[in-house]
Every structure is written in structure tokens, then in C-alpha cells.
Chain A
């Protein structure tokens, strides 16, 4: 049991767009009914959206020993088919209005359980994979490309990270965060996890910050906080957010990639001026969610920094040989230690039985340096991936996906955050490739720019020369 729902039974846990409220008592009671229907520990795919049923199901499973895999309710169907086949979940928890889409997996006409907008569909697989006792939930690292790779998070991971967040954000029952991120995204989920810990009220909306209804809901229910990826803050800037009158707002958090120093400064200054807090944070799905944060009072002083390790965690830097770097302002790979470092990955059904493979230490793959006062700055990345609108997109997986689908070999992707460049030699398929990648990743096509070139630059052993590609976009 992660959350003591009974303790806050008289508090309101959730309020949705249509005004329906769910108390902690109801969350607890319905949760037990859902878990009873499942009949014990098993694997459930939760098709997520920011609505009552979605959160109710997730808390039911998580608090009652059932392992959930959190996926987007809008994910590509073919990718979902692959995941269902790979992991053989016992149930699928899905939006009622889309139940026909799931008919191939089980009986959707008479679902095993139904509450608010969600149904529990029994899949009827003859076999199921055994689950490790510590396994709490799984999230995708880059669900967008449909890789079957999940991050395995333990009960200890989820609980520790949530408690740490509660501590540094000083959360209590009076908080009313409004959803701005999907709950199958580690950052969005951490907001839910930490607020249920303290008996706060979560405002659930499917609407985005570019919609009038979002702000109406925000004001009507006095939202106190929201989170955003760099792109969210670019949009807020574009909306001239600084002029909006939001008296209930207490603080804003930012994670999911590096915000430009200019915007960091703008929001920090705005927050200081109007007596709110702007908190830049750093995290990864592999560390459950959160690893670092920049305390609000340092947000201007240390502009551009991701701050210090969260309570209970530790950062250090290592050089190419794995030796610890002790001098300030020297770039090395950022290593994090803490109880929120996840167990490892799963890539197939048998992996669900694996134990803790990381022993509390995570090499983040991010290159960073630390100043003389102990504040960390991310300067680059070791691995080939981009953050596009906060989503981690693995470039090698994108290349692989295109090659397989179009039966071509000459394609390679590169780019910077929020802008991917896809290089290929066949002009005729360029626009089809762009459309295909946008469809599969469910990311706006403007994020993908195509370059038709004569030849993909490679070295003598056939490895792509990524450095030769940057001339096209830098």
C-alpha cells in the first residue's frame, strides 16, 4: 500500500472537468472493488487519460498489489497489439467510449468492472508471466516508437520519490494541482503520486493550456500549481501568461528537458514579482521521476541550473574512465544515487520476474558540471535521443522503425530538442516518411523536418558520421 487513503477519507481526491468529485474514501472503496474483481496480483494495462476512471483504476491497482503498465489511451493501435502480445496482461483498463477498439483482446460487451468512464476488460490469455514481489508499475521510456522496453519501478521507488517530492515542494492537503501532462508520462504521474500522499485534491482535465476551457476550470476550482515541459513554457510565454490574473496559483514546476535560460529567467522574475514560486527540476523515468530541483529562492541566482539532489538523493560526476570528478566546472557524466533509482528495464514477459539490477545507482547519460556552491548544470547528452515537447524520442529506434516500414537502408535522424531532422536519399518517399513518423509517435508533424541528400555520410566501417549532418541544421 503506497497511499493511506483511509486517513484522508473526508478529503476530495479528484475533481473532473464535468464537476464530478471523488473523495479519498470513495477512491479507497472503489479501488478495493476493482482489485477484488481482478482476483489477486496480476498485470494490467492502464490506457491513460486525465479523467476520473483512469486515475481511479491506477490507484486501485497500485494500492492493492496489482502491477500496472501505464500507456496512452491514444497510442497507435499496432504498437499496442505488439505490447499486449509481448506481455500478456490479465486485464486492460480502458475508456468506456473506446471499448470497441479493445474488442480483440477480450469481452468488451460485458466488462468485468465498470466505474465512471472506464471498463475493466479481461483478456483471457491462457498464460501469464510471474511478477517479482517488488514490482509496482511499469512505464515506457519512449512509448512513442513502440519499443517494448519498459522501466520497472518498485513500491519502494514510487513511495520514496513521492515522499521526497512532498518534502521539497512542501505539499499539504490544501494543494490543488491541475493536470497539464499525461499520467502515463513519469512527470505527470509523479504529480498524482505525491499529491495523493498528502490528501490533496487533483484537478483532472483533458483540455490543454491553449484552450479557454482549461483556464475556466483552473479558475473555477482554484488550481494552486501545474507542471510543464519546456514547450509548455514557450506556449505560456506566447500567451503572455504574465498578464493573466491567477490569484490561486502558488507555484509552477518545470521538467522534461532544458528550458532556455531566457525563459527560465523570465518565469523566475515573474514568480518573484507576484509572490509565486517557479521551480526547475530534473528527472528521468529510470529514477522513478525526480532526481534534482532548483529551490525557488535560487531560481534567479542559478538561472540555467537543474539545482541540487532531492532529499534522500545524491549526485556526483564521473569522467570517461568512471573516476569521480571532484573539481568544480568540469564536465562529466551525472550519476545519481537514491532509493528512487528503479529496478531496471523489462523487454519481454520473462523480465517481469527480474529483481533490482541497479542497486540504487543510476548513470543518467546526461553530461553535467557542478559549480563551487554545489549546483548542477546539464550541458549535453551521451546517448542518441531528443526530447520533443517533453517526450524522449530515441533516434536509433526512429531510424529502425522507418527502415523496417519502408524497406530502405539510407535513412538517419538527428537534431536538437523539439526539432528532429530526418535525412534520406529517396525524395519520393520523404513526405510519406514524415507523415508515418508523426502518426506513430503522435507528435505534431512540425517537429520533423526532412532533408533529401545524395548520400548518408559514413566512415570506412560503415558507421554514420553524425558530425557531418550537423552542417544542415546548425
Chain B
């Protein structure tokens, strides 16, 4: 599985949403599932998927599908 596929899966599992809606443009609070409660699940799911521990600043900065990719790529050496 590619890192992008894993990343999409982390959203599907973490937020409990359909795969179709996990794509560029998806933002925090744009869907009912991605609120502060969902965010906790999402971060856990991402951390587990890539076996990382995210910094506080990165957790609160991860405000969209794209932003998350950028953070993972620049701070955690995950290539997409």
C-alpha cells in the first residue's frame, strides 16, 4: 500500500467516513465527523498508521487533508 493510500485509510478509520469524501479540499469542521472529537481519532489513526508521535503544534496545525500531507512530509519524513 502506498503512503497516500495509507494516509487516506487513516482518515477513513480515524473519522469513520466513506473513502469517497477523503480527498483534497476536505477540511476541519467541513463535515460533522471532523470536529474536535473526530480530530482526536484522526490523529491517533495517523500516528498508528505511520508509527509516529506527533508534536502538539503539528496536531493543532493539521487542519485539512492537504495540510496533513505537508506536515507528514516535512516533519516526519513520510514521502507521498
Q: Give A contacts to B, CB under 8 Å.
A: 208-212, 214-215, 231, 234-235, 238-241, 243-244, 389, 438-439, 442, 444-447
Contacts and interface: CB of A to CB of B under 8 A. Distances in A.
Interface in B45-80: 56-57, 59-61, 63
A444 B40 CA distance: 12
Contacts of B35: 208, 444
Contacts of A209: 36
B61 A446 contact: no
Contact of B28 (A211, A244, A442, A445): A211
A210 B36 contact: yes
A210 B32 contact: no
A234 B40 contact: yes
Contact of B36 (A235, A241, A244, A442): A235
A215 B33 CA distance: 22
Contacts of B56: 239-241, 243-244
Contact of B16 (A214, A241, A446): A446
B1 interface: no
B36 to A, nearest CB: 4
Nearest to B35: A444
B48 to A, nearest CB: 13
Interface residues of B, number: 19
Given A444-B32, A446-B16, A210 B41 contact: no
B30 interface: no
A234 B32 CA distance: 20
Contacts, number: 51
Contact of A210 (B16, B33, B57, B60): B60
Contacts of B36: 208-210, 235
Contacts of A241: 56
Contacts of B28: 210-211
B16 A239 contact: no
Contacts of A238: 40, 43-44, 59
Interface in B13-39: 16, 28, 32-33, 35-39
A447 B38 CA distance: 10
B32 A215 contact: no
B32 A439 contact: yes
A446 B36 CA distance: 12
8 contacts: A208-B36, A210-B28, A210-B40, A210-B60, A212-B60, A389-B37, A445-B33, A446-B37
Given A211-B28, A438-B32, A445-B32, A239 B59 contact: yes
Contact of B41 (A214, A439, A442, A446): A446
Nearest to A418: B37
B22 to A, nearest CB: 16
B38 A446 contact: yes
Task: Kindly list the 5 A-B residue pairs having the minimum CB-CB distance in the complex, ordered from nearest.
Answer: A444-B37, A210-B36, A212-B60, A210-B39, A208-B36
A445 B43 contact: no
A235 B63 contact: no
A208 B16 CA distance: 21
B29 to A, nearest CB: 9
B61 A212 contact: yes
Nearest to B44: A238
Nearest to B15: A446
A212 B59 CA distance: 9
Given A231-B37, A444-B37, 16 more contacts: A208-B36, A210-B59, A210-B60, A211-B63, A212-B61, A214-B60, A238-B40, A238-B59, A239-B59, A239-B60, A438-B32, A444-B32, A444-B33, A445-B33, A446-B33, A446-B37
Contacts of B60: 210-212, 214-215, 239
A243 B39 CA distance: 20
A235 B32 contact: no
Contacts of A447: 37
Contacts of A210: 28, 36, 39-40, 59-60
Contacts of B43: 238
A231 B16 CA distance: 19
A235 B40 contact: yes
Contacts of A208: 35-36
A215 B59 CA distance: 12
Nearest to A215: B60
A208 B37 CA distance: 11
A210 B43 CA distance: 11
Nearest to B61: A212
